[in-house]
Amino acid sequence: MPFIDVNGEQLEVDEDGFLQDPEKWNEDVAKYLAKTEQVEELTEEHWKMVNYLHDYFKKYQIAPMVRKLCKDNGMDLKKVYELFPTGPAKGACKIAGLPKPTGCV
């Protein structure tokens, strides 16, 4: 497994760049991951979604479904893609420090 270097700390990520240990997540990690997902700067709107996802995962150990994620944040899917060009799963969830959602197809 590859590692990323955030402020001198080595963090393990999987082959798609998802953080392996959600406990290691913090603001700086989010900023680092954001750059890998075409988000140059995390604005207030970005943080709203990122924090929501992180908290949701902490509580339920699973990522919310897309409809729920849009509803709970008062955003439509188009807005989500404007903020996170690589989408809610690959972009937003990765930045929020969630491990990769599993599934084959």
Partner 1 sequence: MPELRKTPMLDQLLDGPFPSFVKEIKKGAEKNEACNDLLGQLELSYEEKITHWKHGGIVGVTGYGGGVIGRYSDVPEQFPGLTEFHTMRVNQPAGWFYKTDRLRKLLDIWEKRGSGLTNFHGATGDIILLGTHTDELQNVADDLAHEGWDLGGSGSDLRTPSACVGPGRCEWACIDTLDIVDTLTRRYQNELHRPMWPYKFKIKISGCANDGVAAKARADCSIIGTWKDNIQVNRTEVVNYVNGGFDIIGQVVDKCPTKCISYNPVTKSLSIDDNNCVRCHNCINKMPKALRQGKINGATILIGGHAPILQSAFMSWVVVPFMEMKPPYTEISDLLEKIWEWWDENGKMRERTGELIYRLGMRSFLKATGLPAVPQMVLHPRTNPFFFWDKEEVNQ
Binding site for partner 1 (CB under 8 A): 15-16, 18, 38, 62, 65-67, 70, 77-78, 81, 85-90, 100-105
> Minimal distance in Å, beta carbon 35 to ligand HEM?
29
- The secondary structure element, H or E, covering residue 49 is helix 44-60
Comparison of 46 and 100: residue with beta carbon closer to ligand HEM: 100
Q: Which residue has the tokens 């080595």?
A: 10
Binding interface with ligand HEM (CB under 6 A): 104-105
Q: How far apart are CA 4 and CA 24, in angstroms?
A: 12
Tokens of 42: 């995390």
104 is catalytic: yes
